[in-house]
């Protein structure tokens, strides 16, 4: 079973293309200037998942994000509760491990 979908809209990124409101009008409305507003708290039931994911994928400026989505530069969670999160910090000393090249 898939985990429940939760989304976030970053209105500072929105450029007002209106694609999201076309794909998922129950979740996105457009203000007077055409910029998107999220309707509700971002929780998406399974029945609406495809429409909302299409809005997310088609947003030209990636203003819609899936919460819990991992980004390439995210620090991985510790393997157990005792692990020191500082072990995962990206520093010059371990840059070969995290892929930085000059
Ligand atoms: S598709 Fe993206 S840019 Fe267009 S209105 Fe929606 S959030 Fe804004």
Domain borders along the chain are 5-67
Question: pLDDT tens digits for 13-55?
Answer: 999 999 999 999 999 999 999 999 999 999 999 999 999 999 9
Question: Tokens representing 10?
Answer: 């970053």
pTM of the model: 0.68
| Pocket of ligand 1 contains residue 24 by CB under 6 Å | no
- Alpha-carbon distance of 18 to 40, in angstroms, equals 18
Q: Which CATH architecture has domain 5-67?
A: 2-Layer Sandwich (3.30)
What is the per-residue pLDDT for 90?
A: 76
How does residue 61 score in pLDDT terms, banded at 50, 70 and 90?
Answer: very high
> What single string gives the DSSP state of each residue in 8-50?
EE-TTT-----HHHHH-TTTEEE-TTS-EEE-SSSEE-GGGHH
Mean pLDDT of 73-100: 70
The residue whose CA is least distant from atom 8 of ligand 1 is: 14
Whether the CB-CB separation of 10 and 56 falls below 8 Å is answered with no
């Amino acid at each position: 079973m898939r985990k429940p979908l939760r989304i976030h809209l970053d209105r500072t990124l929105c450029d007002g293309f209106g694609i999201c409101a076309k794909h998922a009008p129950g979740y996105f409305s457009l203000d007077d200037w055409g910029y998107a507003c999220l309707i509700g708290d971002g929780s998406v039931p399974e029945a609406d998942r495809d429409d909302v994911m299409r809005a997310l994928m088609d947003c030209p400026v990636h203003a819609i994000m899936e919460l819990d989505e991992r980004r390439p530069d995210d620090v991985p969670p510790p393997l157990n509760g005792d692990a020191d999160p500082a072990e995962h910090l990206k520093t010059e000393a371990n840059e070969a491990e995290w892929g930085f090249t000059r």
